[in-house]
Chain A
Amino acid sequence: MGNVIVVTSGKGGVGKTTITANLGCALAKLGEKVCLIDADIGLKNLDIVLGLENRIVYTMIDVVNGKVSPQEALVKHKMLKNLYLLPASQIATKEMISPNDMKAIVKELIPHFDYIIIDSPAGIERGFRNAVAPAERVLVVTTPELPAISDADRVIGLLENFGFSDEKINVIINRFKPHMVKKGEMLTTDDIKHTLSLEIIAVIPDSEDIIVASNTGIPVSLNGNSRISKNFENLARRIRGEGVPLENDFVTVSKGLIDTLKDFFSKLKRG
């Protein structure tokens, strides 16, 4: 499997950036050297989720314009010394970068990293094509809702037209709510798998911890107390080729009495 991975979705707001940040952190925690690339030029957020917004000196546009090399533009993470970010510019537009520019940037970075993870913008236009161009493997993020799934299906069709085989495309189900599935009010993982005809690589449950994490700039993967950090670790291990069963993603979802009490007291603590 390739080590240049793009995280995409089609529909906006399904959690691509959160998943990119947390997958990067989880892989780095496992000892891999990881570079995250924010390809959402003009609407960048990856630096904020990682808590690196004040450390940016150069952006991808400076690299494309030849001002600095890709390595000179990288920002090192505060807590994980083997995690880096190539930030996007907020004032530039997606049209200022081409798929060939992205390929050239990734080509220069590949020898220095174990994994390069690209955060794709929403949509299927230029920004999406830029993000996908250098990738060898794709993670399609969807939530268990109709608009997100139908957009994911459209994106998967485009990816197949670009030459990605089914083995190179995996689906991540984000914001999964088991209690709704139990009540028959939400599509199951099997329903989504059947619709998209692709393997589900991870199920990430809905969690308030994600909001807290983006407030603090510390991804949940770095919070040992958060139950869904285990889900991101499972995803990272699967990306590395380890055989972690998908059922393990549901272990963290089912709350025992102690977890329920823990959640209750942590909510009280937060006020």
Chain B
Amino acid sequence: MKFLFWEFGKKNKSRETAKKRLEQIVGTTKRRQMNITEIIPKEILDKNSDKIKERIASWLSETFNVEKEKIKIDLEEREGHVVIITNVFFK
């Protein structure tokens, strides 16, 4: 009898599983639109691009537990926006 109640009690609601899976599927590719708060002149970006790359590489290195040497970062300007391209070599 106790076993029967335990079986009923442990039933996992699939909505919760769906939410978690959806977050994994969509969360990584989610569109994130941010309002522009400040426009920085191109010269300042050029001057600080190494610092920006360093900060991103540090964060990626900690997050994915990989050596900084295995992270490649490029900054490109496209139609007035800065596009940050990152490549992480896991193996």
Contact = CB atoms under 8 A, between A and B. Distances in A.
Interface of A: 146, 149-150, 153-154, 156-157, 160, 166, 181, 183-188, 191, 195, 197
B65 interface: no
Contacts of A191: 15, 18-19, 22
A187 B29 contact: no
Main secondary structure of the interface of B (DSSP, over half): helix
B29 A153 contact: yes
A149 B15 CA distance: 14
Contacts of A160: 31, 33
B14 A195 contact: no
Contacts of A188: 15
Interface of B: 13-16, 18-19, 21-23, 25-26, 29-31, 33
B22 A184 contact: no
B13 A184 contact: yes
Main secondary structure of the interface of A (DSSP, over half): helix
Contact of A153 (B13, B16, B26): B26
Contact of A150 (B14, B25, B31, B33): B25
B19 to A, nearest CB: 6
B15 A150 contact: no
B26 A195 contact: yes
A157 B29 contact: yes
Contacts, number: 46
Contact of A187 (B22, B25, B31): B22
Given A146-B22, A149-B22, A195-B22, A184 B16 contact: yes
Contacts of B13: 183-185
A186 B15 contact: yes
Nearest to A181: B15
A146 B16 contact: no
A240 to B, nearest CB: 28
Nearest to B12: A184
Contacts of A149: 22, 26
Contacts of A184: 13-16
A146 B31 contact: no
Contacts of B23: 195
Contact of B31 (A157, A181, A183, A185): A157
Contacts of B33: 160, 166
B29 A146 contact: no
A120 B31 CA distance: 22
A154 B25 CA distance: 11
B65 to A, nearest CB: 27
Nearest to A144: B18
B30 A187 contact: no
A153 B30 contact: yes
A183 B13 CA distance: 8
A197 B19 contact: no
B22 A185 contact: no
A197 B22 contact: no
A187 B15 contact: yes
A146 B15 contact: no
Given A157-B31, A184-B13, A197-B31, A150 B26 contact: yes
Given A149-B26, A154-B29, A195-B23, 14 more contacts: A146-B18, A146-B21, A146-B22, A146-B25, A150-B25, A153-B26, A153-B29, A157-B29, A160-B31, A160-B33, A184-B14, A186-B14, A191-B22, A197-B30
